[in-house]
């Protein structure tokens, strides 16, 4: 059994000390980039694994006494680059938002805050107070958005002013084919057209150079990618020999047969050197069934990251098969990489608005993650992607077929691209805001909502420091993520203490509960264990639950009582509470455009954390059963009384509570809470015979720091519906790529704003 005291093996043990940088001999391409960067600006189109970070290191090493800034897109890459460049005191490494924080002398952790400082900069341009940089390296510029472009221009301008008019030289790095964040507003032309859009910021000449040789890919993998997926273009060059890629065609629900093919490879390369990638992880039954099979029957360690909105935690994935979305794995590599979704189903379910005559960038990214062995998985129910060269496929890959039928012919090229709104049949409320840019969410909130900070964050010393991951195998240094379990356990503890039920964890309120420990430490561990099982059932991914069977689940006991009491204080005097309330609008009709008569229908569903009812007929008060035990008979009696008094029209004052245990409350949480409030209103209205249901109160509460936001729709139910419709349209509408003329015009306007 592994417990809290063994957690002293801190995550720091898995972090290497930054060595003194000693870059190896640069390639001819790198030498040219380093040489030119001293006197002019350079745009570098770098293939996957071609050594972008090493090139930045070479530039810094060649100019050890010149102040240089390296700006990266992700925190992971920033930390890695900073480690490699730790021996050069004249070099600073930032993320884009980290650089914004330095520029504006404030914490700028997302685009929402960046917009605030952008508005302020119109009247008072920021001043760079540090040493002016002579070279600025901008990495992953294919992922740049218009707000980040504004930030880059503002930063370079402020550095130039600090240097009394001497502009820095600029090195722009990226790869157009790895541009996969278009849903965030990213545009690869911020990379390819950098000499045009940045020309007024730096007067030096521009040169565009490639980094074409991949130190990651084998000749066999690069040849397969070029010939089969890129139409024969010699886009990327490998650096070593390896096995042919495997192309597996079959029934992806037949996990036993798939495991027979994959497990020998996983054992050969090691779970710690294996990744399984897919366009989407949520609701991916073939993938969840396979990973459960690998954990349960083969005992292989697996780390599944369901959300692609957060970076992979290197401590959680270390030593395990990494199961991840393609987007989340970008920038990573492993010896063995297994890619799901390499068939025409991608265009049906994921890339419905993408042209089908070329390889989607996300698929290209996935195919270029393997250092040694690449495996492409093709669902036998789907045709090959239209652009795939079938003759080259059989030549460049080892083809394995375990289906009952031959592979279908490729789909025809040139299907119509459906522009405009295209709603899926089902939408989960918690996923609506994913992939919607902050700028849009901010505009929606500003138009339709008034947000009040009813309680500011408590002092840092009072923040609840529950761990977000725990050590589960001291010998192998395996960790598991637990932040989602913490939130579930805290709400469940409040529910059990107040009502004696555990609907938060999926238990039927009218059925007998298992024995819940009365000892606080034992109860905390029991709740965390139950939360782990509940999450496994909800997500379908059971690897964490299997791998934690022998764990003590004892990381939350010192925090649970404080967290429960902090949450309970919010409900002093409440009439009655309902937990984990399921809500659904099965026929939500959304206009294709605002005011349009053409509408599409979807089913919007979700589960709200807590619904609070207050009125004189309240059936349960704060003083009822604070000991935590309620008999089944008493729960049934309360449930019956609730049914009698909880109907719309009883004069109850209702509020929807969304409970978080996050670092900060953000605008995404606001939209999510409003969607739940809208769903509650719809469900309540459907059960009402006459009159309109009053709009419920909407409250966001962060247990970690005690912050509470209250949200008021400006025009009641109409505002809530507008929030839902506008966010759904923003998420599911394709308007096509702006023309180059439109793109350049937008960049000119942004530059004019900076130079004003």
pLDDT tens-place string over residues 574-585: 999 999 999 999
Domain closes at, from 513, 531, 565 = 565
Higher-pLDDT residue of 645 and 41 is 41
**Shared-domain flag, residues 601 and 717:** yes
Q: Which two tokens stand for residue 248?
A: 């597996």
Same domain, 251 and 395: yes
Supply angle C-alpha 261, 263, 268, rounded to 5: 110
**Which pLDDT score is estimated for 306?**
78
Does the pLDDT of residue 637 top 90, yes or no?
no
Higher pLDDT, 530 or 415: 530
pLDDT > 90 fraction of the chain, expressed in percent and rounded: 84
- Residue 684: predicted pLDDT: 92
Question: Would residue 419 count as lying in a domain?
Answer: no
Q: Are residues 44 and 155 in the same domain?
A: yes
Q: What is the average pLDDT across 194-204?
A: 96
β-sheet bridge partners, residue 420: 734
Q: For residue 466, what pLDDT is reported? A: 97
Indicate whether 536 and 607 sit together in one domain: no
Predicted local confidence at residue 687, as pLDDT: 73
What mean pLDDT is predicted for residues 261-269?
98
Residue 710 has pLDDT above 60, yes or no: yes
Using alpha carbons, list the distances in angstroms from residue 10 to 315, 478, 545. 10, 11, 22
Residues 546 and 488 reside in one and the same domain: yes
* Cα–Cα distance for residue pair 724/605, rounded to 1 Å: 12
Q: Average pLDDT in the 175-195 region?
A: 96
25 within some domain: yes
Among 47-61, 357-371, 412-426, 632-646, the range scoring the smallest mean pLDDT is 632-646
Structural domain harbouring 714: 426-461+569-734
SS3 at position 632: helix
**Which three-class secondary structure state does DSSP give residue 222?**
helix
| CATH number for the domain harbouring residue 369 | 3.40.50.300
- Is the pLDDT at 185 greater than 70? The verdict is yes
310-354 residue pLDDT tens: 778 999 999 999 999 999 999 999 999 999 999 999 999 999 889
Domain membership of residue 6 (yes or no) is no
| Predicted pLDDT at 647 | 40
Exposure letters 620-650 (e unless 16+ CB within 10 A, then b)? beeeebeeeebeeeebeebbeebeebbebee
pLDDT at 17 over 70: no
Check whether residue 67 and residue 106 sit in a common domain: yes
At residue 7 the predicted structure's pLDDT band, cuts being 50, 70 and 90, is very low
Whole-number pLDDT of residue 19: 34
- Tell me how many domains the chain contains: 4
| 735 — pLDDT class (breaks 50, 70, 90) | confident
Please state, rounded to an integer, the average pLDDT across all residues of the chain. Answer: 91
- 8: left (phi > 0), else alpha (psi -120 to 50), else beta? alpha
- The predicted structure's pLDDT at residue 12: 35
Closest by Cα among 92, 91, 93, 161 to 121: 161
Provide the pLDDT for residue 650: 57
Q: What is the pLDDT of residue 652?
A: 83
User: What Cα–Cα distance (Å) separates residue 619 from each residue in 491, 612, 634, 639, 652?
Assistant: 20, 12, 12, 9, 12
Quick check: is 3 in a domain?
A: no
**pLDDT score for 350:** 92
- Does residue 416 belong to any structural domain of this protein? no
Residues 261 and 301 in one domain: yes
Given 521, 542, 565, the domain boundary residue is: 565
Tokens of 142: 């294919």
Same domain, 551 and 484: yes
Q: Which helix (H) or strand (E) holds 224?
A: helix 219-224
Query: Is there a single domain that holds both residue 669 and residue 595?
Result: yes
Q: What CA–CA distance (Å, rounded) separates 611 from 581?
A: 7
Asked whether the predicted pLDDT for residue 620 surpasses 70, the reply is no
Q: Is residue 517 part of a domain?
A: yes
Q: Is the pLDDT of residue 616 over 50?
A: no
What is the per-residue pLDDT for 308? 63
Residue 1 falls inside a structural domain: no
Both 382 and 477 in one domain: the answer is no
In this structure, are 715 and 750 located in the same domain?
A: no
d(CA 641, CA 373): 62
Residues 365, 346: Cα–Cα separation, whole Å: 14
* 245, 398 Cβ separation under 8 angstroms: yes
483: in domain: yes
Q: What local confidence, expressed as pLDDT, does residue 130 receive?
A: 93
286 lies in the same domain as 258:
yes
- Write down the pLDDT at residue 24: 60
Alpha carbons 613 and 597: distance in angstroms, whole number: 37
**pLDDT confidence band for 390 (50 / 70 / 90):** very high
Could you give the CA distance from residue 600 to residue 589 in angstroms, rounded to a whole number? 5
- Per-residue model confidence (pLDDT) at position 682: 95
Higher-confidence residue of 633 and 205: namely 205
């Amino acid at each position: 059994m592994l417990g809290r005291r063994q957690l002293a093996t801190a995550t720091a043990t898995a972090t290497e000390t930054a060595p003194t940088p000693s870059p190896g001999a640069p390639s001819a391409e790198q030498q040219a980039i380093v040489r030119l960067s001293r006197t002019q600006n350079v745009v570098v189109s770098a293939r996957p694994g071609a050594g972008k970070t090493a090139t930045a290191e070479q530039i810094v090493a060649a100019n050890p006494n010149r102040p240089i800034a390296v700006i990266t897109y992700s925190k992971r890459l920033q930390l890695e680059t900073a480690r490699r460049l730790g021996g050069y005191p004249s070099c600073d490494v930032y993320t884009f938002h980290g650089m914004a924080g330095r520029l504006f002398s404030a914490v700028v952790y997302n685009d929402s805050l960046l917009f605030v400082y952008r508005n302020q900069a119109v009247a008072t341009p920021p001043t760079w107070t540090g040493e002016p940089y002579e070279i600025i390296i901008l990495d992953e510029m294919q992922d740049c958005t218009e707000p980040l472009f504004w930030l880059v221009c503002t930063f370079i301008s402020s550095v130039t002013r600090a240097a009394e008019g001497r502009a820095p030289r600029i090195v722009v790095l990226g790869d157009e084919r790895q541009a996969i964040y278009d849903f965030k507003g990213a545009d690869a032309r911020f990379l390819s057209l950098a000499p045009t859009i940045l020309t007024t910021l730096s007067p030096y000449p521009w040169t565009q150079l490639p980094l074409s040789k991949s130190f990651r890919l084998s000749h066999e993998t690069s040849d397969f990618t070029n010939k089969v997926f890129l139409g024969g273009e010699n886009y990327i060059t490998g650096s070593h020999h390896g096995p042919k890629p495997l192309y597996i065609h079959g029934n992806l629900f037949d996990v036993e047969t798939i495991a027979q093919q994959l497990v020998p490879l996983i054992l050969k390369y090691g779970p710690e050197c294996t990744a399984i990638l897919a366009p989407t992880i949520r609701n991916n039954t073939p993938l969840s069934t396979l990973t459960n099979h690998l954990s349960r029957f083969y005992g292989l360690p697996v780390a599944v990251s369901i959300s692609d909105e957060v970076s992979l935690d290197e401590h959680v994935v270390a030593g395990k098969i990494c199961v991840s979305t393609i987007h989340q794995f970008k920038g990573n590599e492993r010896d063995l990489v297994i890619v799901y979704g390499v068939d025409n189903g991608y265009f049906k379910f994921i890339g419905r608005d993408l042209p089908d005559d070329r390889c989607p960038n996300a698929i290209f990214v996935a195919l270029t993650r393997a250092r040694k062995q690449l495996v492409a998985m093709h669902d036998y129910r789907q045709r090959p992607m239209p652009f795939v060269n079938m003759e080259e496929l059989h030549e460049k890959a080892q083809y394995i077929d375990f289906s009952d039928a031959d592979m279908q012919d490729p789909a025809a090229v040139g299907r119509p691209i459906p522009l405009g709104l295209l709603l899926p049949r089902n939408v989960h409320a918690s996923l609506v805001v994913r992939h919607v840019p902050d700028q849009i969410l901010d505009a929606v909130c500003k138009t339709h909502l008034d947000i009040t900070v009813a309680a500011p964050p408590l002092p840092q010393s009072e923040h609840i420091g529950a761990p977000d991951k725990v050590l589960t195998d001291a010998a192998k240094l395996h960790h598991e993520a637990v932040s989602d379990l913490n939130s579930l356990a805290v709400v469940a503890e409040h529910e059990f203490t107040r009502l004696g039920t555990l609907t938060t964890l999926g238990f039927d309120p009218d059925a007998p509960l298992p024995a819940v420990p009365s000892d606080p430490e034992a109860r905390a561990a029991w709740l965390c264990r139950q939360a782990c099982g509940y999450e496994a059932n909800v997500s379908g991914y059971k690897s964490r639950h299997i791998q934690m069977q022998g764990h003590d689940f004892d990381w939350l006991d010192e925090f649970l009582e404080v967290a429960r009491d902090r949450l309970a204080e919010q409900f002093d005097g409440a009439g009655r509470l309902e937990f984990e309330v399921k809500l659904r609008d099965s026929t939500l009709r959304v206009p294709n455009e605002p005011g349009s008569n053409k509408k599409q229908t979807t089913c919007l569903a979700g589960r709200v954390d807590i619904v609070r009812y207050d009125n004189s007929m309240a059936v349960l008060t704060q003083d009822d059963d604070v000991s935590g035990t309620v008999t089944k008979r008493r729960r049934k009696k309360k449930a019956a009384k609730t049914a009698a008094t909880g109907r719309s029209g009883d004069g109850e004052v209702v509020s929807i509570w969304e409970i978080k245990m996050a670092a900060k409350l953000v605008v995404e949480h606001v939209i999510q809470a409003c969607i739940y409030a809208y769903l509650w209103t719809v469900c309540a209205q459907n059960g009402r015979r006459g009159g309109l249901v009053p709009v419920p109160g909407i409250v966001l509460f962060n247990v970690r720091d005690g912050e509470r936001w209250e949200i008021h729709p400006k025009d009641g139910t109409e505002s809530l519906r507008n929030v839902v419709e506008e966010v759904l349209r923003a998420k599911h509408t394709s308007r096509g790529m702006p023309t180059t003329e439109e793109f350049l015009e937008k960049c000119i306007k942004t530059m004019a704003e900076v130079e004003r």
